[in-house]
A = this chain, B = another copy of it.
Amino acid sequence: MGYLYFVKFEEAEEKFIQGWGQLGASWGINRTMSQINALLLISTQPLSTDDIMAKLNISRGNANMNVRELISWGVVRKSFKPGDRKEYFYSVKDMWEIARLVSKERKRRELEPLLTMLQEVRDVEGSSEQVKEFKRVTRDVEKVAKKADSMLDLIGKLDGNRFFKWLMKK
C-alpha cells in the first residue's frame, strides 16, 4: 500500500489502457486495437501475442488481427529475439509521429473518398434554386475539405515541435 496521494501502478496502467481504448472507440477505431497500442506504448520491451492476450484478456484471433492492423497503420512494428521463434511487437513511441501516421491513414481512408464524391457530384445539371444551392454547398464542403487536406499534408511534413511552435506564436 502506498501513500494515499499516490496511485498504484497497476491501477494507473489499467486506467490508461481503458481510457486510450475509449478514446479510440469514439473516433471510430476498434477499441481493442487502441488498447493494444496503449499497452505497447507503456511497455518497456516488445510483447508477444501471448503477452498481449494475457494482459488484455482477449483471444488469439483478436490479438493477431488488431496487431496486424496496427502494423498496417505503421504504429506498431515487429521484433525478434535470438533463439526464439515468436514475434514480438513494439509501438512507435513518439506521439507526434503517431499523430502523423494516424492522420495519414485517415486522410487516405476518409478525406480522399470525400473529395472523389464531391468531384462526381460537381457537374449536376439544372439551374433551379435547388441545384444552385446544392452546388453552393458542395463547393463549400470541397473548399473546407481541401484546406483540411493541406493542413494534414503540412502536419505530415513538419516535425511536431516546429509545427506547434509555429502554430502557437500568436
A residues adjacent to B (C-beta < 8 A): 2-3, 5-9, 12-13, 15-16, 19, 22-23, 25-28, 41-44, 93, 95-96, 99, 109-110, 113-114, 117-118, 120-126, 128-131, 133-134, 137-138, 140-141, 143-144, 147, 150-151, 154, 160, 164, 167-168
B123 engages A7 (CB within 8 Å): yes
A25 in contact with B26 given A15-B120, A99-B144, A130-B9 (CB within 8 Å): no
B7 engages A121 (CB within 8 Å): yes
A41 engages B124 (CB within 8 Å): no
Within the complex, what minimum Cβ distance (angstroms) separates A164 from chain B?
5
| Chain B contacts for A138, CB-based, 8 A | 16, 42
